[in-house]
Structure 1
Amino acid sequence: MDMLIPVLFALSGAFSNALATVLQRKAALSVPRSDKLRARLMLDLLRHPVWLAGIVAVIAAAVCQAVALATGPLTVVQPLFVLELPLTLVIAAVLLHGRMSRLGWVAVAAVVAGLAVVLVAASPVGNRTHAPMDRWVPALAVCSVVIVALVVTALRRPEGRGRAACFGLATAVAYAMTAALMKTSMHTLDDGGVTAFLTTWQTYGFAVFGGTALFLLENAMQAGPLVASQPAITLGDASMSLALGLTVYEEYVRTGWWLLPQLLGVALIAVGVFALSRMSLARALTGEDRPAVGAGAT
């Protein structure tokens, strides 16, 4: 029962993020393609209730993630956001009148089954609300260096899969650090109120890393195909969040022979995510392909 609330809110957050992606894409498709300035494009989108509903969904996702992190371990909450991609495609198939092929549904099942296997085998425990600075400093330093190194590597490569994967991994590290900082910040809000929330450094830390993640995500989407960036983002975020949960918050997962089913679950997730990222419906959501009714896997 202790895990029920964070799990429900994490699942709600993943669903809200998925819904926001589809609604915003649906609104964008209703705006005529042209060489309009971005400011004019935003004005056009603001007149669409569907786009505004997408913004509401984004806000709802952020609130759900914050509550989940405030009530549960990082090693439980963040991996559940792996479900965002399959949820996005299922919702898109309904709202954009696309079609999930049989392979698509198999891939969705693989992601869900893999995640269930990983969480059951790992059985994460621990929910520290704060971490000492001697744990934060190395984590911040390592993550910052990794992000910079990945961005530099990406910029040295031509547009394509390698560049998209590097930007995707940098995005994943930024997302994971955002979640780690948000966890302490939300506990501070709960314990000390708004004043404490606005005076703790973690609040500004997660704002900086969160903004960085959004900037890097945009670059990842433009740098190359979704099949390169999305797996890096999805798997990288879950993996880095696990590492931060273990090292910063001293959370615990089972090891020993339990690592075998965990690796099996990770393999299922990876196969499913790669397959979903190759679907034409997934590429349509990022503008990589024009959406088509009845779009299936490629």
Structure 2
Amino acid sequence: MNLALAVPFGVASSVVYGTSIVVQHKVAQEHADDGEESARGLMRLIRHPIFLLAIAGDFIGFVLNIVALSAGAVVVIQPLVVLMLPVALGVGYLMGGPRPSRSDYLGCVGVLGGLGVFLALIGAPATEHVPKPRYIGMAVVAVLVIGGVLTLVVSGRNRLIRGATYGAVAGSFFGTLAVMVDAASDRVSARGLGALFTTPRGAVPLISIVVLGAAGIALTQLSFQVGALGATLPANLAADPAMGVIFGAVLLREHVPLSVPHLIGYVLCLAAVIAGGIQLARPRGKVADNTGGVTPDVPGGDRLPG
């Protein structure tokens, strides 16, 4: 494990993701069906050039994250995803949005402080374990089934509940995906790139990456159409690292200290990140939509190119 390489790439990945998410949310809101998620709205997004550029940014962020996960443990790298929120705040301001308020800076302190203390508590766990394919398959199927059930259960509820649920489920998909990337990269390191296609321990993580990635991206865009970003993003960025840490410890056998003081510290760190995330993701103004109503704006700004 090489944290000197992994952490900078993990941070760079979050910077790219945070920039892309501002653009994606804005475009998704412009093409939402009166605040309702729909397949038709997704198809309109796919044809939007600026949205496609933002998706390309996601791909770059994904590549950077692969490098980070290849060099470091999931339980260290995946929590860095919460840096997306402070980045989104800054990007929104640079793109013409309102100046961050004092409470926004306090939100950044909550996110950064919670992340920093968590990483200090975790330390530098190492792993060389690649889980058996059947365990990987069982974990992925369980995450997909539970996530699918949750999205169906809240389908008729209000926007706040749907946004939070969609965000949490998408975050759980991405957190699990990070574990699959780590498992696949370990297999490549041990047996070469061909092992991803010729051995079950390589093929199962690879297939899982594709399925979880597609499901996570689709659900994230649906959550953006709902528009409750103040609920969606904190839920997403809480579930993502939490799932990465849980499966990193269980499947990859990365060492996570589990003493009572450590557990209390983890809970407090998560609470700080969620509280800071809610503050940073809150609407910073209202933008008129095509029907004469209003929709919540992206964090950190109300004007984006295109």
Quickly name the TM-score band, shorter chain normalised: 0.7 to 0.9
Uncovered stretches (5+) of structure 2, i.e. residues with no partner:
33-39, 288-293
Cα deviation, 1:17-57, whole Å, max 9, x if unaligned, reads: 1122345678x59x999xx99878766x54x7xx6764553
Match of 1:255 in 2: 258
Number of the residue aligned with 1:289: 296
Partner of 2:64: 64
Partner of 1:109: 109
Q: Which residue in the other structure is 2:274 paired with?
A: 270
Question: 1:227 matched to which residue of 2?
Answer: 230
Partner of 1:236: 239
Other-structure match for 2:153: 153
After superposition, what is the alpha-carbon deviation per residue over 1:260-295, rounded to whole angstroms, capped at 9, x for unaligned?
A: 3332222211110111121417x87xx943579987
Q: 1:158 to 1:53 in 2, by over 3 A?
A: closer
**Among 204, 211, 214, which residue is 1:211 paired with?**
214
- Indicate the residue corresponding to 1:81 in structure 2: 81
Matched AA of 2:140: L
Looking at structure 2, the residues matched to 18 and 271 of structure 1 have their Cα atoms a distance apart, in angstroms, of: 18
SS at match of 1:280: coil
Letter in 2 for 1:207: V
- Residue in 2 aligned with 1:8? 8
Bigger mean CA offset, 51-60 vs 5-14: 51-60
Equivalent residue for 1:180?
179
Residue type of the alignment partner of 1:115: L
Letter in 2 for 1:253: V
Q: Which structure has the highest helix share of the two?
A: 1
Alpha-carbon RMSD across the aligned residues, in angstroms, is 3.3
Are 1:5 and 1:71, in contact at CA under 8 Å, matched by a contact in 2? Answer: yes
Between the aligned partners of 2:276 and 2:16, the Cα distance in structure 1 is 21
> Aligned partners of 2:236 and 2:245: how far apart in 1?
14
Q: How many residues align?
A: 285
- CA deviation string 1:233-254 (max 9, x = no partner): 1101111111101110111122
Distance 1:181 1:173 in 2: 12
Shift of 1:220: 1.8
Structure 1 stretches lacking a partner, 5+ long:
none
So what's the TM-score if we normalise by structure 2? 0.80
- Higher mean C-alpha displacement, 129-138 vs 163-172: 129-138
**Separation in 2 of the partners of 1:215 and 1:177?**
16
Separation in 2, partners of 1:108, 1:144: 32
CA deviation after TM superposition for structure 1 residue 191, in Å: 4.1
Using a 3 Å threshold, how does the CA distance of structure 1 residues 164 and 126 change in structure 2: closer, same or farther? same
How many angstroms apart in 1 are the aligned matches of 2:212 and 2:137?
15
Q: Secondary structure at the match of 1:170?
A: helix
TM-superposed deviation, 1:129:
4.9
Deviation at 1:198, TM superposition (A): 3.8
Q: Which residue of 2 aligns with 1:90?
A: 90
* 2:291 counterpart residue number: none
Report the Cα distance in structure 1 between the residues aligned to 2:221 and 2:55, rounded to whole angstroms: 17
1:105 partner SS: helix
Amino acid at match of 2:79: P
CA contact (8 A) 2:283 2:298 kept: no
Query: After alignment, is 126-135 or 160-169 more displaced?
Result: 126-135
Pair 1:264–1:125, CA change in 2 (3 A): same
Normalised TM-score (structure 1): 0.82
Check conservation: 1:122, 1:255, Cα contact below 8 A: no
**Contact kept? 1:83, 1:111, Cα under 8 Å:** yes
